[in-house]
Amino acid sequence: MTVWFVSRHRGAVEWARRQGLAVDRLVDHLDPARVEAGDVVVGTLPIHLAAEVCDKGARYVHLSLEVPRELRGRELTADELSALGARLEEYHVRRCR
């Protein structure tokens, strides 16, 4: 089992470290072909990639937070993420055919 953390944001990486998240692979872009059954993928993925991760038998854990309009589009620090109530929530996503 490999734990992936997918983020290009330094604040998110620091926030995850502070939460004690043990990560095997830190990537700024996920290639779903590298994910295997039993892996855990943590981050904020587009829905179609989250579905692909789940289709492979891996778990998807979403970094969730409510970002107010005035903070959108800028880099957030780990402290700001904590203040905004960042949390990890597991989802099972599947594509409806």
pLDDT one-digit tens code per residue, 50-72: 999 999 999 999 999 999 999 99
Domain boundaries, the chain: 3-91
Q: pLDDT, tens digit, for every residue of 26-50?
A: 999 999 999 999 999 999 999 999 9
Mean pLDDT for 84-94 is: 97
pLDDT of residue 3: 98
Q: How many Å apart are CA 49 and CA 33, to the nearest integer? A: 11
Instruction: Name the pTM for this structure.
Output: 0.94
Average pLDDT, the chain: 96
